[in-house]
Chain A
């Protein structure tokens, strides 16, 4: 079956621009997670959705970062006024529910800020 799909796979933009990253979870997965992976920082948790609500936003690094999920499916991560330190691979994962179910990851969006 189809896995987690992320788009775009690569994004290059100028400093100060806004970007939107999209994640299509596995069908039927109610839990959705965003992570960021950058050199020297490892993999960092950003935000978690259960359905359309986000009970854990503790990893968002600043108020320039926001995310939403509609219809309990697709999620978008928005970064406003991008900075060079936002350059990273943004990974999305989904799982059947919050309970003890494995997370399945997409291939990520590689974001480069010039």
Chain B
């Protein structure tokens, strides 16, 4: 059974700092890994998707890396802003022909202080 862990559960940083969020998973036979942000009372917003054959993906100030062998992914946020405050979730999809299931971590709640 795939288990996904996100550490830390909460993080508070001053504006402008660079930061790293961590996601670890137990089964390395993954199809892809996706990072989301969730604002209070809202659904999830897709940030980056990394396919199993890729090592990293970048979008603006965000960079996500994937190391399947160690079962880890990181989300790097450069020059953090108060608008980045949200809960960040990673989701892992296993390699299985009919499996639609993505397993989510419990998230890291980020607060960026002005």
Give chain A's interface residues, CB within 8 Å of chain B.
4, 31, 33, 42-43, 45, 47-50, 55-56, 58-59, 91, 93, 98, 100-108
Known A91-B44, A100-B31, A105-B43; contact A58-B101, beta-carbon cutoff 8 A: yes
CB distance from B100 to the nearest CB of A (A): 2
Query: B98 touching A102 by the CB < 8 A rule?
Result: no
0 or 1 for each of B6-31: is its CB under 8 Å from A? (1 = yes) = 00000000000000000000000001
Number of A-B contacts (CB under 8 A): 59
Q: Which bucket holds chain B's interface residue count?
A: 20 to 34
Residues of B within 8 Å of A4, CB to CB, are 43
Query: B43 touching A43 by the CB < 8 A rule?
Result: no
Query: A45 touching B34 by the CB < 8 A rule?
Result: no
Select which of A31, A47, A91, A105 is within 8 A of B45 by beta carbon: A105
In the assembled complex, the Cα of A100 lies from the Cα of B51 at a distance in Å of 7
In the assembled complex, the Cα of A94 lies from the Cα of B47 at a distance in Å of 15
Query: A59 touching B101 by the CB < 8 A rule?
Result: yes
Dominant secondary structure at the A interface = strand
Give chain B's interface residues, CB within 8 Å of chain A.
31-32, 34, 36, 41-46, 49, 51, 89, 91, 98-107
Q: State the 10 A-B residue pairs at the shortest beta-carbon distance, nearest first.
A: A48-B100, A105-B43, A55-B98, A43-B104, A105-B44, A56-B100, A45-B101, A102-B46, A102-B49, A107-B43
CB distance from A33 to the nearest CB of B (A): 6
Query: A103 touching B43 by the CB < 8 A rule?
Result: no
In the assembled complex, the Cα of A57 lies from the Cα of B104 at a distance in Å of 17
Select which of A33, A100, A104 is within 8 A of B32 by beta carbon: A100
In the assembled complex, the Cα of A4 lies from the Cα of B46 at a distance in Å of 12
CB distance from B51 to the nearest CB of A (A): 5
Nearest opposing residue in chain A for B98, CB measure: A55
CB distance from B5 to the nearest CB of A (A): 11
CB distance from A43 to the nearest CB of B (A): 4
